[in-house]
Structure 1
Amino acid sequence: MLYGYAGKMLFIDLTTGEIEEKETPKELAEDFIGGYGFGAKILYDMMKPGTDPLGPDSVLGFITGPTSATKAWFGGRYTVVNKSPITGGWNDANSGGFFGPELKKAGYDALFIKGISPKPVYIYINDGKVEIRDASHLWGMDTKKVWEALKEETNEPRLRVSAIGPAGERVSLISCPINDGHRAPARGGTGPIMGSKKLKAIAVRGTQNIPVANPEKVLEINKKVTEAMKQSELAQAFGAYGTGVGTPASALNGDSPVKNWGGVGVVDFGEEKAEKMGSIALDRYKTKKYNCASCPLGCGAEYEVNDGRWPLGPTERPEYETAAAFGSTLLCGEPDAMLKCNEICNTYGFDTISAGMTIAWAMECYERGILTKEDLDGIELTWGNGEAIVNIMQKMADGEGCGAILCHGSQYAAKYWNKGEEYLQTASGIELPMHDPRHSPGLARTYKFDPTPGRHVKGGIGGVQMLEPIKEENYIFDGTGPADLGMTLFVEVLNASSMCYFSTLCAPPETVYEYIAAITGMNFDQETAFNTGLRIFMMRYAFNLREGIKPKDMTLTKRAVGEPPLEAGPLKGYSVDVEKLGRNFFKEAGIDFDSGLPDKALLEKLGGLDEVIKDIYGEDK
């Protein structure tokens, strides 16, 4: 028996309508765990290099991990994998809520979709019964209305749905599916893949139990995590106020980007605006706490907003990334504007980071006279102008006028208008997250050189630096490889297992390995974890390498590394030697920075990478 897994994977071709079940191979589980470990291996095998991300041969995966649906604390996430239409390389994005565990309880560890349907469809999975159903009546609906409509249509009030909104239908490059009304595997172009396939939604309902090797041990670990959570001040703060608890401080201490990464929080934004955008102030709207599946922390909340310029009624508390993207990055201290943009993104299906950063790019271009009022349909997109921000966001959502350009992201817009490229803040075309490498230097390596660029939850030394005050020793760039690689590989395992990143607030890293061992019955010690994490990393890396993407080809905009350095504020004078950090990391990982080639002997030692070895070295293992 394969403990910790549903034991089956689902493969659907929307062109032919073919539905195929396959057993989850034991060796796949042992080598790649789940999540984007499964995804990288299977997409590498299924997709040829050069595949059009928006074409029929492009494969989209929805994947769980072994901790999901097993009662393990924090084991509630799922991952979407695809070839990014923005970077042309590997992409993965994960989400919380309840969709992932429901898919697994419905009988499947993973769902892989290729082809293009001739008409809008949705996939309905109910305890092993799978159908491709017509979705013509759902096309044009927002994500929340789709969820409600499908609950009624299937007569399943506990149905879980991951659906695109109108943005994804229009194949917006920064669109994404939304599950549970406000949770999103958002980044890198997940939504346009669904839109290009005419796939409106995936609806799942499951009641099956997932076999666990040692259920008593899982409950024992849960107790340990609960006690550790009680001792963590950060965990308690996140549980009370969510990720937005740190929004004001981050805007002022240099962690959050300000004024499209060109400003200084204490100078350009100020304490008064910063405090307004934090969840402590915004929780006056809170009506209910929100916990994802198997989460003892509960960092989410439901709101009721009936005042301000945009009364929303029931809505959700914005995450830190959203508050910063529509706050300090735009110099906007108007919380009603930020709440409205958050709701637009949730209902139309947008990545809030990319949406906010795209507006920030347009805003700076407008300030500098690069984009005109005519370019922006008469909107005066000045810094901090909440009404203008909402108007632009709504145009992006409707795909009208300038919004039809901006809805594809800042890189697309700069190329379309053929101007403003020097003010992009991106990593290989992906808009940067809301944590500044000038504050946490290790993030520069992660943003630029991870196979999934522009992500702040991919592991590495930057994740630790983010939670600390600025330290001078963080700007010494020698000898960073071992720690950077080790922390990266831990997060590879964490993400592949379907556990939430916030589990690290409550327990030491080895707790993740204890959960995997107790659930699967596998021996999962430190050495196994290191090798498994490196194998997963190599698989993601190999996907890019086969597409011709080497480390030296990946990009990160200059402001993010302090070129030129800021002249005021907490980050004054700081710069980051990102190439040195990258060289340190790849040397430790066994990859030659210049040629991009991983060490063949290392690949052979890791195992499970025979096709990679064959493709790189032109021979079988």
Structure 2
Amino acid sequence: MYGYLNRVLKMDLTTGGWEVLPLVPEYVRRYIGGRGLGARYLWDLLPPGTEPFARENVAVMMTGPFTGTEVYSCQKYEWVTKSPLTGSYLCSNCGGMLGVNLRRAGYDGLILTGAAQKPAYLYIDGDTVELRDAAELWGKSVSRAQALLRERAGSEAAVGCIGPAAEPPRAVRFAGFFDGQRSAGRGGLGAVLGSKLLKGIAIVPGHREVPVFDRQGLDQLLPDLARELKRDRITGDVLGSVGTMLWIDTLALNGLLPAHNYQRVASYAEIRGRLDSETYRSQFAQLPAGEEGAHSVHCYRCPLQSAKLCTPDRGGSRGKQVRGPEFQSAWALGINCGLLDYQPIIAAFAACNEHGIDAISLGGTIGFAMECCQRGLLDRERIARDYDGLQLNWGDCEAVLGMVGIIAERRGWLGELLADGVRAAAERIPESVDFALHVKGMEFPSYDPRGVWSMALAYATGCRGACHLKSWTIDAEYSAANGNPTSVEGKAEMVIDAENVRAVIDSALVCTFASRTISEAWMKSLVQMVMGLELEIDACGREICNLERGLALREGISTLDDGLPFRIREEPLCGGDYDGVRIGGDNFERMLAEYYALRGWESEGAPVLERLSGDL
């Protein structure tokens, strides 16, 4: 078997026992690795109907065929589990070095079952696999816990951990897992690991090498790939200059940048000179490493340098170099909450990372709470009285910074109300349901789909909830000849095509940003060189999406959950090029019906599950 070591480490956290399982060749052929292969192991090992915080829940960490090889921009790893935020299937990938070190230690994947008896961390050094005491790490921030893990495991070890927000009894349902300053953020993986009392993982690199089918061919191919990545304007220039903040300009210029919990969109004139990419570049990106500012950093074997290091001027990380700002966090903690200043956004994002929570869900939850205050559904006087004068007003930087700690710590009644996410909060405030922005429990990201209807369908049908990463259609919408982003025609096919490709990208663990350069042709060539397989991308992606749909159905998701919030479905967009555009229930149902028909998911519930199960 090429592209893999044929070894998966299965760890029983309850007993501390472990075993090494061989990979199933048929699984590798059908699902490639990463997201697809992880989903297959979850299908096999997760007892149907398991509660996310039950010890029977399973967490799978899976590498891809290129992880640990010389292939550029393909070194991530994927986590798969049952989400406490959505109550269904979750996949979430992560940068950092744990995946690379896992391969070097001799394993392709890690399966976690059971739950530890007391706080522990997992130590892996080749054939030495141990659960070690984490009492001193429990309750520590992400950066402090990682530092302690490195002291114990050695400077060469890769380490990852959860933050205090993921630990019981806080168990914030959108807590993540952090590898350095990278994270598997969305959906609550961190809270699942916290329920298992697993604080972290430390992996010492060994000297195992991934077998490659055509070494000479790969060596000849990689220089061409490097040139392609450098030649592309986005991957070769813009990401290195302004990072992911380039998309804040793009959305504002196209009338798709939501503000104030999607009540309107922000214009470019509104953010210009305050939160646009040029302001970011002039304030941070030009400063060299070592100064109090930002510089570019990158994942292992990735030349893109899309991430930045900055120094916040306030908050608990004041004066320290931290990762950020990223576009999604700048939107969620910034524009979505009416905040148009980089420094408090950087500070709030740093606080999210130290507590160990997802900034997108947190920002969506804060924006929801601010609108509840705006509409008189939350008592402003009570909040001010109980939380040291806190005022949940749009654009109040102290409110955003304060809410990070309140939610992460489940502090008082307001923290308890919001720490389970927007859906759970709206269930306790019925009048807020129409503007509770989530799908299947996962909060919305930063693209207003009322101006790009294919993204509305993508959010509704997303395997893990409202997600822009599982079916990116915006480029296709704007490059299509005579296309109309606000019509129903062709949207189902567009979403399915994008979902299938993205499923393969995530299974091969190609960087999201690099995937604009590492095209389908490149992926086929790389899979052939490394694995010796002929990759049929559409067929492979379709099989992975069917598997994930089967998992979702088995865990209780139905077509009733493939919907949109009232605000997105029925309220017209306010501002920008698409001012007044409304999707409407009839249009949405037409797109959804066509999507089901093209997918072959026409029937509801058990019949579809039985058919999908029979294909596995």
TM-score by length of 2: 0.91
Aligned to 1:618: none
Aligned to 1:493: 504
Q: CA distance change for structure 1 residues 199 and 309 in 2, over 3 Å: closer, same or farther? A: closer
Kindly report which structure 2 residues correspond to 1:463-482, keeping only aligned pairs within 5 A, or say none: 464-465=476-477, 473-482=484-493
Give the whole-Å Cα distance in 1 for the aligned partners of 2:102 and 2:11: 15
Aligned to 1:243: 244
1:277 Cα deviation (Å)?
A: 9.3
- 1:59-103 CA-to-partner distances (Å, cap 9, x unmatched) read 011111111111111111111111112222111111112222122
Aligned to 1:6: 5
Give the whole-Å Cα distance in 2 for the aligned partners of 1:29 and 1:430: 29
Helix, strand or coil: the match of 1:501?
coil
Task: Tell me if structure 2 keeps the 8 A contact 1:251–1:274.
Answer: no
Give the whole-Å Cα distance in 2 for the aligned partners of 1:461 and 1:317: 26
1:29 Cα deviation (Å)?
A: 0.9
- 1:41-62 CA-to-partner distances (Å, cap 9, x unmatched) read 1111112221111001110111
Task: Tell me if structure 2 keeps the 8 A contact 1:252–1:271.
Answer: no
Select which of 541, 549, 552 maps to 1:541.
549
- 1:5-47 CA-to-partner distances (Å, cap 9, x unmatched) read 1211111121222211111121221111111211211111112
Helix, strand or coil: the match of 1:100?
helix
1:266 Cα deviation (Å)?
A: 2.4
Select which of 591, 599, 608 maps to 1:581.
591
1:149 Cα deviation (Å)?
A: 0.9
Give the whole-Å Cα distance in 1 for the aligned partners of 2:216 and 2:191: 43
1:558 Cα deviation (Å)?
A: 2.7
Equivalent position amino acid for 1:132 in 2: L
Give the whole-Å Cα distance in 1 for the aligned partners of 2:267 and 2:481: 16
Kindly report which structure 2 residues correspond to 1:119-198, keeping only aligned pairs within 5 A, or say none: 119-154=118-153, 156-169=154-167, 170-180=170-180, 182-198=181-197
Kindly report which structure 2 residues correspond to 1:208-607, keeping only aligned pairs within 5 A, or say none: 208-235=208-235, 236-266=237-267, 269-275=270-276, 279-280=280-281, 281-283=283-285, 284=287, 286-306=293-313, 311-373=318-380, 374-375=382-383, 377=387, 378-401=389-412, 402-416=414-428, 419-459=431-471, 461-462=473-474, 464-465=476-477, 473-524=484-535, 528-561=536-569, 563-576=570-583, 577-592=587-602, 594=604, 597-598=607-608
Helix, strand or coil: the match of 2:241?
helix
Aligned to 2:36: 37
Helix, strand or coil: the match of 1:582?
helix
Helix, strand or coil: the match of 2:336?
helix
- 1:145-177 CA-to-partner distances (Å, cap 9, x unmatched) read 1111111112x2122122101001121101111
Give the whole-Å Cα distance in 1 for the aligned partners of 2:232 and 2:277: 26
Q: CA distance change for structure 1 residues 315 and 7 in 2, over 3 Å: closer, same or farther? A: same
Task: Tell me if structure 1 keeps the 8 A contact 2:65–2:530.
Answer: yes
Equivalent position amino acid for 2:41 in 1: I
Task: Tell me if structure 1 keeps the 8 A contact 2:434–2:567.
Answer: no
Task: Tell me if structure 2 keeps the 8 A contact 1:302–1:315.
Answer: yes
Give the whole-Å Cα distance in 2 for the aligned partners of 1:403 and 1:312: 28
Residue 82 (structure 1) aligned with residue 81 (structure 2): yes
1:278 Cα deviation (Å)?
A: 5.8
Name whichever of 159-168 and 551-560 sits farther off: 551-560
1:448 Cα deviation (Å)?
A: 0.9
Give the whole-Å Cα distance in 2 for the aligned partners of 1:380 and 1:274: 23
Give the whole-Å Cα distance in 2 for the aligned partners of 1:596 and 1:320: 40
1:351 Cα deviation (Å)?
A: 0.5
Give the whole-Å Cα distance in 2 for the aligned partners of 1:219 and 1:573: 54
Q: CA distance change for structure 1 residues 333 and 276 in 2, over 3 Å: closer, same or farther? A: farther
Q: CA distance change for structure 1 residues 471 and 198 in 2, over 3 Å: closer, same or farther? A: farther
Helix, strand or coil: the match of 2:449?
coil
Name whichever of 38-47 and 218-227 sits farther off: 218-227
Equivalent position amino acid for 1:363 in 2: M
Aligned to 1:617: none
1:413 Cα deviation (Å)?
A: 2.3
Helix, strand or coil: the match of 1:255?
coil
Equivalent position amino acid for 2:420 in 1: H
1:369 Cα deviation (Å)?
A: 1.1
Give the whole-Å Cα distance in 1 for the aligned partners of 2:481 and 2:132: 53
Equivalent position amino acid for 1:461 in 2: T
Name whichever of 87-96 and 229-238 sits farther off: 229-238
Equivalent position amino acid for 1:176 in 2: G
Name whichever of 354-363 and 587-596 sits farther off: 587-596
Give the whole-Å Cα distance in 2 for the aligned partners of 1:596 and 1:589: 16
Give the whole-Å Cα distance in 1 for the aligned partners of 2:597 and 2:98: 38
Give the whole-Å Cα distance in 1 for the aligned partners of 2:294 and 2:595: 45
Q: CA distance change for structure 1 residues 29 and 80 in 2, over 3 Å: closer, same or farther? A: same
Equivalent position amino acid for 1:295 in 2: C
Q: CA distance change for structure 1 residues 567 and 407 in 2, over 3 Å: closer, same or farther? A: closer
Name whichever of 57-66 and 435-444 sits farther off: 435-444
Task: Tell me if structure 1 keeps the 8 A contact 2:13–2:196.
Answer: yes
Helix, strand or coil: the match of 1:420?
helix
Give the whole-Å Cα distance in 1 for the aligned partners of 2:178 and 2:316: 25
Give the whole-Å Cα distance in 1 for the aligned partners of 2:114 and 2:225: 43
- 1:261-294 CA-to-partner distances (Å, cap 9, x unmatched) read 0123129944343338963244355443211012
1:304 Cα deviation (Å)?
A: 3.0
Give the whole-Å Cα distance in 2 for the aligned partners of 1:278 and 1:597: 54
Give the whole-Å Cα distance in 1 for the aligned partners of 2:439 and 2:482: 25
Give the whole-Å Cα distance in 1 for the aligned partners of 2:271 and 2:482: 23
Identity of aligned residues (%): 28
Q: CA distance change for structure 1 residues 310 and 36 in 2, over 3 Å: closer, same or farther? A: closer
1:588 Cα deviation (Å)?
A: 1.8
Helix, strand or coil: the match of 2:251?
helix
Give the whole-Å Cα distance in 1 for the aligned partners of 2:270 and 2:419: 26
Equivalent position amino acid for 2:556 in 1: G
1:190 Cα deviation (Å)?
A: 0.7
Give the whole-Å Cα distance in 1 for the aligned partners of 2:594 and 2:3: 36
Q: CA distance change for structure 1 residues 479 and 417 in 2, over 3 Å: closer, same or farther? A: closer
Task: Tell me if structure 2 keeps the 8 A contact 1:358–1:409.
Answer: yes
Aligned to 2:101: 102
Could you tell me which runs of 5 or more consecutive residues in structure 2 were left unpaired when the two chains were aligned.
Answer: none
Give the whole-Å Cα distance in 2 for the aligned partners of 1:505 and 1:269: 29
- 1:216-257 CA-to-partner distances (Å, cap 9, x unmatched) read 322333222222223322222012221113324424532321
Could you tell me which runs of 5 or more consecutive residues in structure 1 were left unpaired when the two chains were aligned.
Answer: 604-608, 615-620
Q: How many residues align?
A: 598
TM-score by length of 1: 0.91
Helix, strand or coil: the match of 2:264?
coil
